[in-house]
Amino acid sequence: MSCALRRCAAAILVAGFFLFPIVIPGGAQAIGGIPGFVPARAEMERQLEEKFRSIPDATHAENNSRHLTSEPHMAGTEASRRVAEWLRDQYRSFGFDVEIVSYNVWLPQPREVKLELTKPAHKPLASPEQPFDGDKATYDERAVTGFNAYSPSGEVTAQVVYVNYGTPDDYRELAALGVSVDGKVVLARYGRGYRGIKAKLAEEHKAAGLILYSDPEQDGYVAGDVYPRGPWRPMSGIQRGSIVYTQLYPGDPLTPGVAAIPGAKRIAPADAADLPRIPTMPINAQDASLILESLGGKHVPHGWQGGLPFTYHVGPGDAEVHMKLVMDYAQRPLYDVIATLHGTSDDERVVLGNHHDAWVFGAADPGSGTVAMLETGRALGELVRSGWKPRRTIMICHWDGEEPGLLGSTEWVEANRAELQAKAFAYINTDVGVAGPDFAASAPPSLKELLREVAREVRDPETGGSVYDAWREQVARAREKEQISGTGRQAPQAEASNDAPVEDLGAGSDFCPFFDYAGIPSIDMGFGGDYGVYHSLYDDFYWMKHFGDPTFGYHVALAQILGTVALRLDEADILPFDYPAYASKIEHTATDVFTRASAISQTDEDSMEPVLDAAAHLSASAARASQALRAISGAPLDSAKAGQINHALAGVEQAFLAPGGLAGRPWFKHVIYAPGSYAGYAAEMLPGETEALDRKDSAALHHEAESLAAALLRASSRLDDIARLAREAANSAPAGH
């Protein structure tokens, strides 16, 4: 395509039109049927799904939540092992084959966490979370103190500088003010990014230490009533969390790219690129206020003022703190629970997952997801007892060590990558499954419409309509609120004006190794809400029963959605993957990146030319494959041909993996989506090219563009194979079809 023609195409794309029409996902006819199913089987599938959705039960969900929150169960502890064994026994009772798979990983636990204000007056800080009468769990002495996993041990006495959220823009603001953090302890509030990136930036700016706190503007009294009167974080609440640099690689820090099993080659901790180098700790808002009130220096820039009732300054002034951290690092065991419901085709698999470790009690994170997954498993087991057999094998996995750094899921994927790539058609994840009534989901474009279709089938417990309708209405309210408030924050954007928005996959949960490392099509979902007790002592059964989901109806709804998505993928004749939508999104984004590169230099524009050509090829191949699949959507298919087509459909995602990974972080193989290096949990599309342009690195852009163009052409080739297989299936179909 000539440069002029390409720019014309770009204009069409920007105007909201696609070069190739989006057709019915997977090529299946949806008139009176279900995408992915031949008409003769669609009614059977509807009956199966309705029977499944009648089984999950709020009483079961509540009882399981009460059990899971009966004791703290942090990764690497005996309590986490007990949870794994209980889950194993539950799934065995449902009829699954179950095993516990163990890995030994480099994992810290806190031995001493100390903080004190030494100037202008001495005040002890690092105060514990306040217990509340009526919630006996908050008195549990087994709860771990507030700490940041993977902080090094260290002792620092230094002045303090307030860095707002600790983002790259915040450090640029400080530099403009003439304020250096070199040798200082920096104080950053949670929000607008992963805490590990805050630690990385503090380290890069030569800070001596980092203190994190939850400002009441984000999740405290500014947002609403605080616990125990309401769902928001009280002044004593502490957000625990890991600061390991998962933006470089998740999993065991000492075994990147290989499973942490006996005999695995382990690097020295000093050589682990994802381990932070400066001591870091979280504190509560009441302790942070004592530091902030003591800061001198200039008044903070616009947007830096938080919710505490005084004027913020950047420091340093007279404020000085002494922090001491003693961390106990050791090889500690993880316990992954792998439950399998064998299908007729064991070489075709649908995998579901949720983690079971929690910072303390974890009623929402992750217990609500665990409870919903248990109800999904129980309902599937009931279907089997009634005579149904899965078409494909269904696996339900509960990961250990997610909170410290996606440890259990990453090690399992690294151990089983080849088998997953050969057999797994999709991975379905939930984490904080229920923290309120607002549904949200993330997926690649190939699976977004499937999520919307399923949401239309499930009843919303509060409105009585569908989850899909409640989802759309909630997003519309959020957008209207943002327009009125003028905050500039963006509500989720839909792919079309009338659609509920399925977001792109970023990072922060167990889908990451499946999608970013193994190229397995993945989905993440859950119900959110006014969830102010994230990673705190107060995320317990009392909070869930009073604020999160008092009737446990949304736990049931999530189980119904998880199971219905699984059944659609398990039972489909042809997998309902929408590759024209995927190709269009890629071509649109590639055009945007090309336009940006063109504005910088001719060299950068030339680097992006092959990407646009390859993206156009991808769109054409996706259209041809979809047309060929549509031609066979009404006929019974030979099982061998269908199997070939489905394996090929699931394998398109793997074509987007670059063997050498992204520049500077080779563990991340996916060249279309990855978490941004400094964007935290948010997804970056075409990350190699986007970040090279951010750095104004033309050599890196050329390298990344070559890798991306090759991946797009690989995906085009696979889609062409699908079109060929579909045509062969059409030619071999019995006469009359």
CB 315 within 8 A of CB 159: yes
Question: Shortest CA distance to 505 belongs to which of 487, 490, 489, 525?
Answer: 525
Phi-psi group of 242: left, alpha or beta (phi > 0 → left; psi -120 to 50 → alpha; rest → beta): beta
Task: Report the C-alpha gap between 577 and 569 in whole angstroms.
Answer: 10
- 635-648 b/e with 16+ CB inside 10 Å = b? bebeeebbebbbbb
* Active-site annotation holder among 402, 403, 457, 704: 402
Longest CA span, the chain: 90
Question: For the chain, how big is the Rg over CA atoms in Å?
Answer: 26
| Residue 302 CB contacts under 8 Å (≥ 6 apart), including other chains | none
CB 201 within 8 A of CB 676: no
HEC string for 307-352: CCCCCCECCCCCCEEEEEEEEEEEEEEEEEEEEEECCCEEEEEEEE
Helix axis angle, 602-631 to 698-732, nearest 10°: 10
Task: Report the C-alpha gap between 565 and 279 in whole angstroms.
Answer: 43
Query: Structure tokens of 87?
Result: 């889950």
CA distance to 275, 370, 425, 559, 565, per residue, from 456 (Å): 44, 23, 23, 15, 12
Query: Structure tokens of 396?
Result: 């339900």
Query: Structure tokens of 188?
Result: 């950053």
Task: Report the C-alpha gap between 688 and 112 in whole angstroms.
Answer: 40
The answer to whether 293 is a known catalytic residue is: no
CB 336 within 8 A of CB 102: yes
CB 375 within 8 A of CB 61: yes
Question: Shortest CA distance to 243 belongs to which of 274, 218, 284, 214?
Answer: 274
CA distance to 98, 515, 617, 701, per residue, from 604 (Å): 52, 29, 21, 7
CB 325 within 8 A of CB 344: no
* 419 CB neighbour count, 10 Å cutoff: 12
Query: Structure tokens of 282?
Result: 């979280």
Task: Report the C-alpha gap between 506 and 524 in whole angstroms.
Answer: 10
Collapse the DSSP code of 715 into the 3-class scheme (helix H, G, I; strand E, B; otherwise coil) and give the result. helix
Question: Shortest CA distance to 77 belongs to which of 356, 415, 438?
Answer: 356
Task: Report the C-alpha gap between 571 and 345 in whole angstroms.
Answer: 11
Length of the chain measured in residues:
737
Task: Characterize the bridge pairing of strands 392-399 and 148-149.
Answer: unpaired
Angle at 383 between CA 381 and CA 387, to 5 degrees: 115
Point out the residues that are catalytic: 402
